[in-house]
Structure 1
Amino acid sequence: MSGCVLCTRVESVATVTLSNPGKLNAVDFAMWQSLAALLAELSRDEQLRCIVVRGEGDQAFAAGGDIEEFVSRRDTLERAMAYHAQAGAALQALADCRQPTIALLQGACIGGGLEIAAQCDLRIAAQSSRFGAPINKLGFSMYPAEMASLLRLAGAAGLLEILLEGRIFGAAEALAKGLVTRVVSDAEVVDETYASARRICAGAPLVARWHKQWLRRLQQGDPLSDEELRASFAFLDTADYREGLAAFTEKRKPQFRGC
């Protein structure tokens, strides 16, 4: 029986849940397909302001790909390429989400699960959560296109250590390596993640999208053009900008509408 990807929504926050009971939420091919389609749909939702990605229960975010499926889905070059094209599409859909994304990390965050978490904008981990990519013990290498986000977070030396040793390590080390942005107690991780989502939702949604856009652009390395610098002031024409200034002057909370 395959796993599934669930989605619930409370006000302007959507929760995407990786669910594969009995397999520590290991991600199978159908889940990669569902994840790509769902994230593309959510990204188009103008009323949505934040997406939380988590695993079902508190034992795992996702313990990698579903290894049992590899003998049928990755047994030839053509099928392996198709499999990772679909996984890549899901990871890219997460990276391309216009809304801020937060990974809520409990338990095991391994292999493909670590790749999913790395594509989120923020990663909030429980103190007892565990990380790694022990695929060297399974005789296969990480797909190069899926290394990029981990390389960006951990750097070449850090990623090589993770891949060459295949060691499972804790949240404190993951924080030191840059793989997570915050570590809190197990009892606080759910509340802290949704508190973070509420803080994001309290800000201007267009500004959040622009910050994501410009940070991605800056990571390309080449200088911004004059046209791009002028475009960075697009906020001047928004109602939310006028509302933010008015709320500051009137000493009240702003009511942003995303326009």
Structure 2
Amino acid sequence: MSGRILCVREDAIATVTLSNPGKLNAIDFAMWQKLAEVLREISGDEQVRCVVLRGDGEQAFAAGGDIEEFLHRRDTLERALAYHAQVGAALQAVFDCRHPTIALLQGACIGGGLEIAAQCDLRVCGESSRFGAPINKLGFSMYPGEMEGLLRLAGAATVFEILLEGRILGAAEALAKGLVNRVVADAEVVAEAYASARRICAGAPLVATWHKQWVRRLQHDVPLSEQELRASFAFLDTEDYREGLSAFLEKRKPDFRGR
């Protein structure tokens, strides 16, 4: 039986759940397809201001890809290329989402689960969470297109450690190595992730989108052009900018509309 990608929206927060509980939310091919579809749809929804990605239950965010499928989905070069093209499309859809994304991490975050979490903007985990990609013990390497996000997040030294040793890291070590932003008690991780989402939603949504854009642009070793510098002041023409200033001066909570 195939796993599922569930999507629930409450106010301005969309929750996307990886659900394959019989296999610790291992991600099968249909789930990779659906994840790409759902994230693209959410990205185009102007009513959404933040996306929380999580696993079904408390045991795992996702324990990797569904290894059983590899026997027929990845048994030839052409099928392997097609399989990982779909995985890459799903990861890219998470990365490209114009709304801020938070990975709510409970339990195991392994392999493909770690790849998804690495594409999110923020990662909040519980104290018992575990991270790694011990695929060296299965005899295959991480696809370069999937390694890219992990490398961007944690750097070469940490990626070497994860992949060459195949060791599973605890939450404290994952925090120290930059794999997660925040570690809280297991009983508090859901509340903390959604508190973070609400803080994001309280801000101007256009500003969140621009901050994502500029943080990523500034990681490229190419100086900003004069046109880009001028474009960084696009907020001057928005209603939200005027509302933000007025609310500050009037000592009231702003009512941002994304315009």
**Does 1:147 pair with 2:147?**
yes
Report the Cα offset of residue 204 of structure 1.
0.1
Report the Cα offset of residue 177 of structure 1.
0.9
Report the Cα offset of residue 219 of structure 1.
1.2
Secondary structure at the counterpart of residue 155 of structure 2:
helix
TM-score of the two chains, using structure 1 as the length reference: 0.99
**Does 1:251 pair with 2:219?**
no
> Aligned letter for 1:64?
G
Q: Give 1:86's aligned residue.
A: 86
Mapped to 2, the partners of 1:101 and 1:21 lie a distance apart of 23
Mapped to 2, the partners of 1:74 and 1:147 lie a distance apart of 18
Mapping for residues 50-65 of structure 1, pairs under 5 Å: 50-65=50-65
Which consecutive aligned stretches of 4+ in structure 1 deviate over 4 angstroms post-superposition?
Answer: none
Mapped to 1, the partners of 2:99 and 2:134 lie a distance apart of 31
Q: Give 1:134's aligned residue.
A: 134
Report sequence identity in percent.
80
> Aligned letter for 2:224?
L
Which runs of no fewer than 5 residues in structure 2 stay unpaired?
none
> Aligned letter for 2:70?
F
Mapping for residues 1-259 of structure 1, pairs under 5 Å: 1-259=1-259
1:174-232, Cα deviation, whole Å (9 max, x unpaired): 01110001000001100000000000000000000000011111112200000000000
Mapped to 1, the partners of 2:164 and 2:24 lie a distance apart of 24
Mapped to 2, the partners of 1:72 and 1:220 lie a distance apart of 39
Report the Cα offset of residue 109 of structure 1.
0.1
Report the Cα offset of residue 154 of structure 1.
1.6
Report the Cα offset of residue 157 of structure 1.
1.1
- Number of matched pairs: 259
> Aligned letter for 2:3?
G
Mapped to 2, the partners of 1:247 and 1:221 lie a distance apart of 38
Mapped to 1, the partners of 2:4 and 2:170 lie a distance apart of 27
Mapped to 1, the partners of 2:157 and 2:14 lie a distance apart of 35
Contact 2:88–2:145, Cα closer than 8 Å, also in 1: yes
Which runs of no fewer than 5 residues in structure 1 stay unpaired?
none
Alignment root-mean-square deviation, CA: 0.5
Contact 2:16–2:53, Cα closer than 8 Å, also in 1: yes
Contact 2:21–2:57, Cα closer than 8 Å, also in 1: no
Mapped to 2, the partners of 1:170 and 1:244 lie a distance apart of 41
